Amino acid sequence: MLLQFDRVDSTNTIAWNLLDRGWGDGTIVTAKSQSCGRGQWGRTWQSEAGGLYLSMIYLPVVNLADPSLVTIGTVWGIAQVLSPFVPGLKIKAPNDLLVDRCKLGGILTEIRWREGKIAAAVIGVGINGWNPVPQGAISLRDLSTPIGNLEQLRDLTIGGILLGKERWEQPNPEGLVADYQTLIL
């Protein structure tokens, strides 16, 4: 299920609220802009119109030994899917997408625990598309890419998350970590 909003405080917050109301695994929330977008370590994420702001609810079907695999898998999967369209795309560990050492996007995974296991997660993704960006960042608008609009970027990004999910849910996800490391700048 894909829910699209014009402006929200945070797509992650909306996704958690939906989960608490019974929405399930794979529910995706997007917004044209966010008033309180956030990144890791409590940092804010500039979220003006023209960027991709997306969150997905994840309810684990396997017991993950390492919860960081969700973030690693997500950033790896998105990088895999976007790389043919965005030459030079790299990862800055643990969760950023870079082009020419400038930030194109980031992933924020928030997790709820129950009895020592991941009960639920919300995977948040912000990617600079055609929005204004701060110093040190880059947007797709600044690059020569055939990605032409937010809908195409959204669909590619969802495909990347799902590709990562296939890998982190495997019984032996060590290969995912090795593949992720090959993309680290």
What domain range includes position 157?
A: 2-182
Query: Which tokens in the block code for residue 1?
Result: 């299920």
Which DSSP category does 130 fall into? S
Segment 153-173 shows an average pLDDT of 94
37: Cα separation from own chain's centroid: 13
Q: What is the pLDDT of residue 44?
A: 60
Is pLDDT at 43 greater than 70 in this prediction? no
Q: How confident is the model at residue 16 (pLDDT cuts 50, 70, 90)?
A: very high
pTM over 0.85: yes
For the segment 121-144, what is each residue's pLDDT rounded down to a tens digit?
Answer: 999 999 999 999 989 999 999 998
Segment 148-173 shows an average pLDDT of 95
Query: Which tokens in the block code for residue 27?
Result: 């529910």
Q: What is the pLDDT of residue 171?
A: 84
Stretch among 19-23, 36-40, 107-111 having the lowest mean pLDDT = 36-40
Which DSSP category does 70 fall into? H
Is pLDDT at 183 greater than 90 in this prediction? yes
Which DSSP category does 59 fall into? -
Q: How confident is the model at residue 114 (pLDDT cuts 50, 70, 90)?
A: confident
Given a contact cutoff of 8 angstroms between Cβ atoms, the answer to whether 34 and 7 are in contact is yes
Q: What is the pLDDT of residue 38?
A: 59
Given a contact cutoff of 8 angstroms between Cβ atoms, the answer to whether 157 and 125 are in contact is yes
- CATH code, domain carrying 54: 3.30.930.10
Nearest partner of 153 among 50, 65, 76, 62, judged by Cα: 50
- C-alpha span between 161 and 56 (Å, rounded): 9
Segment 65-89 shows an average pLDDT of 94
Total number of domains constituting the chain: 1
Q: Considering the chain, what is the average pLDDT of its residues?
A: 92
Q: What is the pLDDT of residue 46?
A: 57
